[in-house]
Amino acid sequence: MYEMRFHGLGGEGIVTVGELLAKAAIIDGKWAQSLPYFSTERRGSPVISSVRIDNSPIWLKSFVQNPDVVAVTNELVMKLVNVADGLKETGTLLIILQSLPGNLG
């Protein structure tokens, strides 16, 4: 089973990325699930999306604890949450930071 966890802020598309990745895997003939985690806060609050992909049915229904890949889209999230928590020893940490106007230095 291949497990991924995406970290970002509400409004950045983290939940959508997880859903699209899972749907693409299903179209490719795999079994997949996407589980978003966010609280009742609004746009700008930390969001996590867990994705699992496998060649057989996935019976586990919990958030990814030991991912193969962790992707982060916002520097603020890295200050609030230990995004690498549980990352497998051979795992990949992917940091995708966006430059905003006025922050180009």
Residue 38 confidence (pLDDT): 77
Pairing label, strands 2-9, 46-54: antiparallel
Structure tokens at 101: 């106007």
Q: Which residues of the chain, if any, have pLDDT below 70? A: 40-42, 98-105
Query: Please, where are the H alpha helices in 1-105?
Result: 14-27, 75-80
Asked whether residue 105 is domain-assigned, the answer is no
DSSP 8-class letter at 64 = -
Query: What backbone phi and psi angles, to 5 degrees, belong to 58?
Result: -105, 115
Q: Does a structural domain hold residue 8? A: yes
The CATH number of whichever domain residue 59 belongs to comes to 3.40.920.10
Q: Is residue 100 part of a domain?
A: no
Q: What is the pLDDT of residue 45?
A: 84
13 domain residue, yes or no: yes
Q: Which among 33, 26, 84, 21 is positioned nearest to 63, based on CA atoms? A: 33
| Residue 105 confidence (pLDDT) | 45
Residue 81 in any domain: the answer is yes
Residue 12: inside a domain: yes
Q: What pLDDT is attached to residue 94?
A: 94
Range of the domain at 86: 2-95
Q: What is the distance of C-alpha 40 from the center of its chain?
A: 18
CB hemisphere CA count around 38 (13 angstroms): 22
Count how many domains the chain has. 1
